[in-house]
Amino acid sequence: MVRLKTALILAGGKGTRFKEKTLEIPKPMIEANGKPLMSHIMDIYNKYGVSNFVVLAGYKNEEISKYYSTKYVQKDENIFSLPNSVTVTVLDTGLETMTGGRLRQGIESIDDQDFYLTYGDGIGTIEIDELTDFYYRNNSLVTLTAMRPPARFGSLEIDENLVIKFGEKDNSNEGWINGGVFVVNRGVLEYLIDDDEPFEKTPLETIAKQKFLSAYKHNGFWQPVDTIRELEILENQLNSVEWKNYLSK
């Protein structure tokens, strides 16, 4: 069983669909049951041995650094030391940079050949070890985690664990969507040409066409957070026995 050590967290967007909170803080810093979404995400990965987190920040990145500087040991201007030998680096990737450009900067800041990439506003009971094993079995450049969609999300077409069509945020059907939890090989750099290009558009569409994008299917709990109602759903789940059992396994 391979265990990776590094996770990049996309946390630079403006979160315009959740302005009740994001006028003051970036969306991954919204608190669920008294703790930022991003911290809940780190708890998941740390459970599977991940100790190095790179936060791909942009909008209100200073709020992220301020949070960590007041709670933990600051090793450098943007590097923080947390319990359990965890290191968090807050990387300012620019206010207007798209996810492809943020990812490029993140990859260039690490030495890892393979690593995790995740959106900073979705939480689920994903078995990271199973996801990682799936990635290596399929010998993919990128593995995404496919989720059952809320209706407002786009769709994926999957054939024998390969994504054959990637339709981000089109009219959804009853199939699968990109849940924003990836395992990535740094070879993806050659697809990240334009910092103004979302990772989810030309880069992933091209990788899918070349049959280098595989999909790990997750049927368990997963909750994106774009509204107060979705935050309430997540908070209820974080108090559930299912969630506590998942974290304690």
- 149, two tokens: 């969609």
Q: How far apart are the C-alpha atoms of 246 and 202, rounded to whole Å?
A: 35
Per DSSP, 149 falls in state P
pLDDT in tens, 82-123: 998 999 999 999 999 999 999 999 999 999 999 999 999 999
pLDDT at residue number 150: 57
Tokens encoding 232: 């309430």
Using CB atoms within 10 A of its CB, is residue 221 exposed (0-12), middle (13-18) or buried (19+)? middle
Residue 186 gets which letter from DSSP? G
185-209 exposure pattern, b = at least 16 Cβ within 10 A, e = fewer: beebeebbeebebbbbeebbbebbe
Q: In angstroms, what is the C-alpha Rg of the chain?
A: 17
Decide: 97 and 12 in contact? Cβ < 8 Å. Answer: yes
- Enter the pTM of the model: 0.90
Look at residues 129, 116, 85 and name the one whose alpha carbon lies nearest to residue 180.
116
For the CA atoms of 15, 100, 2, 68, the dihedral, rounded to the nearest 10 degrees, stands at -40
d(CA 89, CA 77): 9
Task: Tell how far CA 211 is from the center of its chain.
Answer: 22
> pLDDT tens digit string along 18-67?
888 889 999 999 999 999 999 999 999 999 999 999 999 999 999 999 99
Burial bucket for residue 157 (CB in 10 Å: 0-12, 13-18, 19+) = middle
Residue 165 has a pLDDT of 79
Kindly write down the DSSP assignment for every residue of 193-247, as one continuous string.
Answer: --TTS-TTTHHHHHHHHTT-EEEEE--S-EEE-SSHHHHHHHHHHHTSHHHHHHH
